[in-house]
Amino acid sequence: MRTVDRLPQIFWDDGQPWPEANLFSLEVARNREVKIETLTRLMEHLHKYANWLEREQIDWRHFPQTKAERVLVRYRGELVDSRDHGYLRPSTTTARMRAVIRFYRYAAGRQFISRDAPKWQDKAVVVRYFDTAGFERTMNRLTTDLSIPNRARPGLRLEDGLLPISRQHMSELLQFAKENCSEELHLMLMVGFFTGARIGTIRTLRVKALEDAARDPDVSCWRAMKTTQF
């Protein structure tokens, strides 16, 4: 039997353990084919789920007949909403829901919850792939109607879920800064918008760096920036 050091475990806010989840962690860890790093990531996803359960004050075995009130349906909606607002990456959202479903499959197999509880609808999908010889193969895979596809949102997105500022809003912001803010702040905004430099770079610029900068013929305000005195 495999010995596991520092087994990842989950405890509730009142200090009580989550026995079913911790037993799941132990049994996964005993599989020699599973790396401890993989188990740790798996339990981190379950830990986030446990935090949500306590925040929403809902039991993890809550599966009423009304689908919208079921704990997994509600949690899936929470994940999708966090993804759409940029709080979670699509890949993280997919992995987190997959980890939770994996735990529930284990719990049902161990009869910690009823197998007949209306948790989800299983469905078989066919995955096509090419083997090492270049021949197309197919593989049957079991998934659920709660799974979240790993699909990035359309459109340009920046880090931490930020959205790029529009050209109109950029012009309005620069005009507002010119009329109502310090000259230094106005110039910092101009440098940021027209060079793409981050705030850390802008704050450490020297006058000589601006004087020696190469001209961009597509930026009409370049002449104004070059002639502005610091």
Q: Domain limits of the chain?
A: 19-144, 165-227
pTM: 0.60
Contact 70, 101 (CB under 8 A): no
pLDDT for residue 94 is more than 70: yes
The mean pLDDT value for 125-147 works out to 62
Higher local confidence (pLDDT), 66 or 162: 66
Compute CA 216 distance to the chain's CA centroid, rounded to the nearest angstrom.
36
Mean pLDDT of 131-150: 67
Q: What are phi and psi of 138, to 5 degrees?
A: -130, 150
Mean pLDDT of the 158-172 span? 72
Q: Which of 54, 35, 49 is nearest to 92 (CA)?
A: 49
pLDDT for 229: 44
Whether residue 76 is predicted with pLDDT greater than 80 in this model: the reply is yes
Task: Kindly state the percentage of the chain with pLDDT values over 70.
Answer: 74
- Could you write out the DSSP letters of every residue in the chain? ----SS----B-TTS-B-HHHHHHHHHHHT-TTS-HHHHHHHHHHHHHHHHHHHHHT--TT---SSGGGSHHHHHHHHHHHHHHTTSS-HHHHHHHHHHHHHHHHHHHHTTSS-TTS----EEEEEEEEE-TTS-EEEEEEEEETT-----PPSS---GGG--PPPHHHHHHHHHHHHHHS-HHHHHHHHHHHHH---HHHHHT--HHHHHTPPP-TT-TTHHHHHH---
Right CATH for 19-144 from 3.30.70, 3.40.1350, 2.20.25, 1.10.150: 1.10.150
pLDDT tens figures, 25-72? 999 998 888 888 899 999 999 999 999 999 999 999 999 988 889 999
Per-residue model confidence (pLDDT) at position 140: 57
What gap in Å lies between CA 163 and CA 155, rounded to an integer? 9
CA distance 26 to 39: 9
Q: How far, in Å, CA of 39 to CA of 42, rounded?
A: 5
